[in-house]
Amino acid sequence: MLDRNRRGGWRTRVGALALACSGCGGDAAPGGSRPGDFAEPTPASVEGATEANMARTEIDFPDGAVPEAAVPGRPNVLIVTIDTLRADHLEVYGYPRVTSPRLTELAEASVVFEQAYAPMATTLPSHTSMFTGVYPHEHGVLANISDGRTYQRREDLMTLAQLFERAGYETEAVVAAFPLDPQFGLNAGFRSYSAPESKQRPAKANTDEALAALERLAASTKPGFLWVHYFDPHGPYNPPYRFEVQFRMDDEIRAYLAERRFSERSQRPTGQWNELEEGIDRYDGEIAYTDFQIQRLLKAAEKNGWLDGAVLAVLADHGEGLNQHDVPGHGLTWEEQLHVPLMLRIPGVAPRRIPWPVSLVDLAPTLLHVLDVPGKQEFLAQVTGVDRFRTDIVHGDARILGQSSPRQSEGGEIRYVLRADRWKLHLDEEGVTSLYDLDADPFELHDVAGDHGRVVEKLASELEALLKLQRREVRTLEASEQVEAELRALGYGGK
């Protein structure tokens, strides 16, 4: 039941809100109206929402875009994740600066997803979703740390690494920051899991470690599965001097910031820089530094032949506020924090750009479309994400879901978002909603909930229908003083 609140928005009491699958389908737009102009919801439409959400149809890809069968043999697999990388700070996604020439080159040979979304703008929950194919509320990891406690992944969920290890792959991981420490569970399935001894490992040292792993994999007679994680775009933005001085603010970037209404109000308390413009320059320098190190990694893999015929994925776990919406960091549900780059280079798949929204929970099932891995049907049975090479989300029917970290949300309440075509609904556990028309307002500057009550009611009704899905129990452990100290040093709060 919806009631107009005093601020002209809408309220819906949702209780303990549950999310559902990426690629959920909604009701069709009535009688020739454009997608997103919703009809008044009916009880029947609400009751049928869950069933409709599971609909699947085939993509109409051009010839050569998608292989009819899996890539022959057992190709090597390389997954590169970049922490805290906004999509709109790469030229591939329209940024005016040349921050990432190697990724731009890679994009020309890849499937580029233009609207990929993290399920949560927090390192451990988002990576856990990538490797399990389910949303944070399903796998149970809701933060790196919250109120002095760490979250535990559901024990019954298989990870991609476990799947590939069981299939006979050599599995190695090189991660660059403490939130991905082995004690938090993502080491499962990796025969070698290299993590920094302190809070983080700079990109050069991380690449050196990855090159050693690559040598071991290249020497093996087995196919390899390698995950390399870079952390450098994460604050406090201290790239090496060469990259620190690479960018200096100009009128073009100032116009970019003004369009998005970046604010000087919220500044990262590093004591090393205080101006918004300098922070943007340093952030872009970190991206350029990371791009350079990724180039080192890929060149080595190409030189020793390990990358020949391999499947390659490059993506970010989440974005960064950079003071947009007065938020310097991440953990909330604004576009700049959830919209991430995602590129897949796959043998036999022609390069192209995918315009419709997708989620990072779709990564695993999409990769498994082109990989004939024994046991993958068991893995696919657990996933919420969908195979983006088999499933066409018709424009207007896509549903992409996200949530905030309880650590970042005001009062510890979780905020959820539902992306539906041009609309994006924000909703917190108290039921307060806001609505943004991303076609007219891509930077979420104007809440139009008061002007589009039918849209709010429709989307809220879909969420209410999804409440029928059982919410998983969340397991936490009290963090040690050392764990709290390491995470606090990276900006993640403890007790």
Among 392, 414, 433, residue at a domain's last position: 392
Task: Give a yes or no: residue 472 inside a domain.
Answer: no
Residues 287 and 403 in one domain: no
Residues 281 and 430 in one domain: no
Kindly give the pairing relationship between strand 224-230 and strand 10-12: unpaired
Dist. CA 95–CA 334, nearest whole Å? 18
Tokens of 356: 């419709």
Dist. CA 103–CA 282, nearest whole Å? 19
Dist. CA 437–CA 88, nearest whole Å? 19
For residue 410, the enclosing domain spans 2-57+394-466
Residues 416 and 381 in one domain: no
Residues 367 and 402 in one domain: no
Residues 214 and 291 in one domain: yes
Among 360, 392, 424, residue at a domain's last position: 392
Residues 330 and 419 in one domain: no
HSE-CB at 327 with a 13 A cutoff on CA atoms is 18
Task: Give a yes or no: residue 487 inside a domain.
Answer: no
Dist. CA 189–CA 224, nearest whole Å? 13
Dist. CA 340–CA 246, nearest whole Å? 23
Task: Give a yes or no: residue 474 inside a domain.
Answer: no
Report the domain count for the chain. 2
Residues 9 and 92 in one domain: no
Residues 244 and 206 in one domain: yes
One-letter amino acid of 87: A
Residues 403 and 381 in one domain: no
Residues 50 and 93 in one domain: no
Task: Give a yes or no: residue 35 inside a domain.
Answer: yes
Dist. CA 121–CA 135, nearest whole Å? 12
CATH number at residue 270: 3.40.720.10
Please give the pLDDT value at position 149.
62
Task: Give a yes or no: residue 186 inside a domain.
Answer: yes
Task: Give a yes or no: residue 490 inside a domain.
Answer: no
Please give the pLDDT value at position 328.
84
CATH number at residue 15: 3.30.1120
HSE-CB at 164 with a 13 A cutoff on CA atoms is 31
Mean pLDDT, 10 residues at a time, the chain of 495 residues: 34 34 35 37 36 37 54 93 98 97 98 95 92 87 63 84 98 93 90 91 97 97 98 94 94 89 56 70 97 98 96 97 87 94 95 93 94 94 88 55 69 78 86 90 95 92 61 58 61 51
Task: Give a yes or no: residue 483 inside a domain.
Answer: no
Residues 350 and 441 in one domain: no
Task: Give a yes or no: residue 159 inside a domain.
Answer: yes
Residues 388 and 414 in one domain: no
Please give the pLDDT value at position 476.
57
